[in-house]
A and B are shown apart, each in its own frame.
Chain A
Amino acid sequence: AQTVTQSQPEMSVQEAETVTLSCTYDTSESDYYLFWYKQPPSRQMILVIRQEAYKQQNATENRFSVNFQKAAKSFSLKISDSQLGDAAMYFCAYLIGAGSYQLTFGKGTKLSVIP
């Protein structure tokens, strides 16, 4: 079975500091896509960042960046200059490029931001 593991159920960070959320995945496919989604308490899932597995360069979106280690099957999310609005559940997910339509999610990491 293909899986996504988020080993940190909860994390906290001081406002303006940097935090890294961990994610590992298990797939034998070579063509796949990786995502981090944010789910605030209002429940609507929002895309934070996306990475195509064939791209060597790590994706960045403003204060959010990833460390994609393909050989280690690791896809961590770094949030810089943390803001109160970053507090949410963060889900790591992946999608295989062929043969499956299923976006597979991890169990999530609850991030708290301390003022």
Chain B
Amino acid sequence: GAGVSQSPRYKVAKRGQDVALRCDPISGHVSLFWYQQALGQGPEFLTYFQNEAQLDKSGLPSDRFFAERPEGSVSTLKIQRTQQEDSAVYLCASSLGRYTDTQYFGPGTRLTVL
């Protein structure tokens, strides 16, 4: 009965390094979302997958951000050449079917770029 899990929970990167953040959704969940949460703010949408198809990536802030879900389960958010403004908590959520179903969130990955 596991929920959404994310790894690592904390990541410290030097500016210019590439990072990869992993999300394991609830088993059987079709929809998967990534959000970015800056300190003291609400989460902001990054991208949405339905199975392996990335249907919306309009929230990705730059072409340095890339997400994939190749087999329709685990997803990876990759950030290339990290910048200080990328420091945030990255949240993953999944929902059972349609994107309008309730989203269940993971604990997040706190990324700090030095």
Contacts and interface: CB of A to CB of B under 8 A. Distances in A.
Given A43-B89, A44-B108, A102 B45 contact: yes
Interface residues of A, number: 24
Interface stretch (A12-20, A63-71, A72-80, A103-111): A103-111
B104 A42 contact: no
B42 interface: yes
Interface of A: 4, 33, 35, 37, 42-47, 50, 91, 93, 95, 97, 100-108
Closest 9 CB pairs of A and B: A105-B42, A45-B105, A101-B48, A102-B45, A101-B56, A44-B107, A101-B99, A91-B42, A43-B108
A103 B56 CA distance: 12
B88 interface: no
Interface of B: 33, 35, 40-45, 48, 55-56, 58-59, 89, 91, 93, 99-100, 102-108
A91 B58 CA distance: 22
B107 A42 contact: yes
19 contacts: A4-B42, A43-B107, A43-B108, A44-B105, A45-B105, A46-B105, A47-B103, A50-B102, A91-B43, A95-B100, A100-B56, A102-B59, A103-B43, A103-B45, A103-B93, A105-B43, A105-B44, A106-B42, A107-B40
Nearest to A31: B100
A1 B68 CA distance: 28
B59 to A, nearest CB: 7
Given A33-B100, A101-B55, A93 B89 contact: no
